[in-house]
A and B are shown apart, each in its own frame.
Chain A
Amino acid sequence: MAKLRDFRIALLFILPALIGLVVFSLVPTIRGIYLSFTEYSILGEPTWIGLDNYTAVFKDDLFWNAMAVTLQYVAINIVFQTVIALGLALLMHRVAKSTFIRGALLLPFLVANVIVALLWFWMLDYQIGIVNEFISWLGLPRVAFFGSEQWAIPTIAFVNVWRHMGYTALLIFAGLQAIPRHVYEVASLDGASPTRTFWSITMPLLRPVLVLVLVVTVIGSFQVFDTVAVTTQGGPVNATRVIQMYIYQKAFGESDFGYASALSVILFVILALVAFVQMKFLKGNESDLD
């Protein structure tokens, strides 16, 4: 009896989250999978067309372009973001102990994504942006940060690194604090150099946190959209047409909701695989402390 009552109370607490999950995640996901097998222009009824959307996707040059562009973005974004965040976390842990400085690192993350994108969009403008004014004052040629095909993706990746590095550093910093002090004391008694301590103690013990951070940031990175939407909108030509932007354009621009759903399902499968591989091979759910 007591167990059943516990269960009821537990259910009561879970219910709000459960409703949210079912209404905003589960039902739309299932409906999205269904729509990916249809031709659907949102006004009117979906018509079942089987696998046609999927076969079309694999023959679609713009889809493969979107995948390549997205991967390029994820690679630049994750590598820089993780390395910088790790460095910042170490600084926060060992050097910068003032709450003010630690708080300041988080400031970019507190600004809304769209605002950050617009801010950099203006500062990096070719003709009247402050960064290019400075570059040309130095006597160097101006750079079309958002306008050139070579620079657009690195620029967008940089903007998001700038916004997220403080937050990522905070997560890693929490992981650093969880490493017991006595392990370091033993290391220093054994005469280990700081480099050796970092690679042999800090990194292995930080691994579960790093894996979690990587899973979350890689998935978030694949879903880059807002920065592209308010700056380049997929251009120049197709250089920044990341997969989410392409999905958005197909659905809301060209009213091709069936095709866009198929693209979304493919992205969903890719992300599920990425998360699975990361958890499996980096052993994110085990700690070396035991």
Chain B
Amino acid sequence: MKKSLGAVAAAAAIAISLSACGGGSTSTEAKGEINYWLWDANQLPAYQQCADDFTKANPDIKVKVTQRGWGDYWTTLTNGFVAGNAPDVFADHLSKYPELAAKKQLLTLDDAVAKDHVDLSIYNKGLADLWVGQDGKRYGLPKDWDTVGLFYNKAMTDAAGITPEQMAKLDWNPQDGGSYEKAIAHLTVDKNGKRGDEAGFDKNNVAVYGLGLESSGSGQGQTQWSFLTATTGWTHTDKNPWGTKFNYDDPRFQDTINWWAGLADKGYMPKLETTVGASMQDNFGAGKAAINTAGDWTIGQYTSYKGIETGIAPTPTGPNGKRASMFNGLADSIWAGTKNPAASVKWVEYLASSACQDVVAAKGVVFPAIKSSTDKAAAAFKAKGVDVTPFTQQVEDGTTFLFPIADKAAKVDGIMNPAMDAVVSGKAPASSLTQANEKVNALFK
């Protein structure tokens, strides 16, 4: 890979003058080396194992697995598309693939699925459909899924006299917060040892917050508030996937955000300004918060803090009497510019098969998309002493709703992130989101 400076400069000059030319030879035979990228370091060992197994079965194909952190992943990928050295296959996200598909950077998989008789019914319900684009074409095969739950510090709930059974049966409503707010208030302790629901509680000197705060959640609120808003009947968009009208002006949404942001005023949740810095998880690890709402991909981190026994509870039930959790599904996609489509298709099909997903399941870090592999992952977590039922029961009970897939996700985020920050930090009322909603909807006109 080493090149002299002159060659690099010349290449850069050519790239500038020609701007993104494709080409090169395209091999139709399934052999050679393919590059595979993913962002989660926790999953790297599992996928390296898959790659080794795959090469054992197909000695002509070598797979080079590279992991890059989420922060650099998408910009590096975009640069790769332009420079012509993007990975052949990469882990893809629902918030990103619509734009990549619209810009023709993804290979459609319909022919391969038909030709190789890939059975799409083996995946958990809905996951395979998430990856069919607006044009009706398939851009990815399901890899894994995630839901949201409550992580809590067991020593703190014990001290507060709240049992795990009570934690598993919390209810919520946007008016008084239900037993969910009661538990949060009771778990909040000020510097003098007074609890949040006791007289004389000093909300300006809080030692332990009942509820941790990660961020305002931008326009999606995946782990922050979407599990609440969904129980009021509210949806992000007019239809999903491919909504073109957002509903941030809906009173049900604004009331929920109002209630949630109000927790900070009451001293039950840190103020937004205090969350810039150490992660929510680390504050939990430092004993500064009793309950955190987070996705199942953080199970490993939450259960690894020394000296802290972490309990897991499902999200509270809401006004509709049910729980809710956003259901996000990842997939593996193939770059349209790959020099080796045949081998790439073979690798993606292998990643989406139980051969690989069982390997991932056995590591107990994430829930694979295939139903039978999901059960194996739950067993692997159990062997580590973690009961993941709060995450899997949402899928079994059908209380999940799909991640809102829409075009122009990055631009929506650009508007909603500051708007939500302003509301959650108390700088603007929840009604200001109506104006942000108008800006968002103007993007689709």
Contacts and interface: CB of A to CB of B under 8 A. Distances in A.
B410 A237 contact: no
Contact of B276 (A45, A141, A236, A238): A236
Contacts of B275: 126, 147
Given A23-B9, A127-B288, A128-B286, A44 B276 contact: no
7 contacts: A44-B103, A125-B277, A128-B282, A146-B277, A147-B277, A254-B414, A255-B99
B276 A232 contact: yes
B278 interface: yes
Contacts of B104: 43
Contacts of B103: 41, 43-44
Interface string B271-308: 11111111000110010100000000000000000000
Interface in A12-60: 19-20, 23-24, 27-28, 31, 41-45
Contacts of A148: 273
A235 interface: yes
A119 B337 CA distance: 40
Given A127-B277, A255-B99, A23 B13 contact: yes
B422 interface: yes
Contacts of A252: 75, 78
A236 B272 contact: yes
B270 interface: yes
Contact of B414 (A31, A124, A142, A253): A253
State the majority secondary structure of interface residues on A: loop
A28 B16 CA distance: 8
A81 interface: no
Contact of A42 (B82, B288, B421, B427): B82
A100 B215 CA distance: 45
Given A128-B282, A128-B283, A235-B421, A147 B75 contact: no
Interface residues of A, number: 41
A142 B410 CA distance: 34
Interface in B378-424: 410-411, 413-414, 417-418, 421-422
Given A127-B277, A237-B427, A253-B414, A23 B272 contact: no
Given A19-B9, A252-B78, A236 B282 contact: no
B340 interface: no
Contacts of A24: 12
Given A252-B75, A254-B410, A126 B277 contact: yes
Q: Which of B12, B103, B104, B276 counts the most chain A CB atoms within 10 A?
A: B276
Contact of B78 (A19, A152, A255): A255
B156 to A, nearest CB: 16
Give the interface centre of A121, A128, A141, A142 by most chain B CB atoms within 10 Å. Answer: A128
Contacts, number: 100
Interface of A: 19-20, 23-24, 27-28, 31, 41-45, 121-122, 124-129, 141-142, 144, 146-149, 152, 231-232, 234-238, 249, 252-256
B411 A127 contact: no
A237 B103 CA distance: 30
B36 interface: no
A44 B427 CA distance: 40
Given A28-B16, A127-B283, 18 more contacts: A23-B9, A122-B278, A125-B277, A126-B273, A126-B278, A127-B274, A142-B274, A147-B272, A147-B275, A232-B276, A235-B276, A236-B425, A237-B421, A237-B422, A238-B418, A252-B78, A255-B78, A255-B410
A20 B9 CA distance: 8
Given A127-B288, A148-B273, A236-B272, A43 B81 contact: yes
A27 B270 CA distance: 49
Contact of B421 (A41, A128, A236): A236
A146 B145 CA distance: 34
Nearest to A246: B414
Q: For chain B, which range describes its interface: under 10, 10 to 19, 20 to 34, or 35 or more residues?
A: 35 or more
Contacts of A42: 78, 81-82
A176 to B, nearest CB: 38
B81 A253 contact: no
Contacts of B355: none
Contacts of A141: 204
Given A43-B20, A236-B425, A144 B78 contact: no
Contacts of B204: 141
B273 A236 contact: yes
Interface string B340-380: 00000000000000000000000000000000000000000
A152 B276 CA distance: 10
B99 to A, nearest CB: 7
B241 to A, nearest CB: 20
B105 interface: yes
A96 to B, nearest CB: 35
Contacts of B99: 255
Most buried by A among B78, B81, B273, B278: B273
A144 B270 CA distance: 11
A234 B422 CA distance: 13
Residue with the highest number of chain B CB atoms closer than 10 Å, among A24, A41, A254:
A254
Contact of A254 (B286, B411, B422): B411
Interface in B1-17: 9, 12-13, 16
A148 B425 CA distance: 9
Nearest to A19: B9
Interface string B98-129: 01000111000000000000000000000000
Which 3 pairs show the lowest CB-CB distances between chains A and B?
A: A147-B273, A125-B277, A147-B276
A24 B9 CA distance: 8
Contacts of A255: 78, 99, 410
A126 B78 contact: no
A148 B417 CA distance: 16
A237 B9 contact: no
B105 A122 contact: no
Contact of B274 (A144, A238, A253): A144
A142 B191 CA distance: 13
Given A43-B81, A43-B82, A237-B427, A231 B414 contact: no
A286 to B, nearest CB: 38
A249 B414 contact: yes
A31 B16 contact: yes
Nearest to B288: A127
Contacts of A122: 277-278
Contacts of B414: 249, 253-254
Contacts of A254: 410-411, 414
Interface in B120-144: none
Contacts of B75: 252
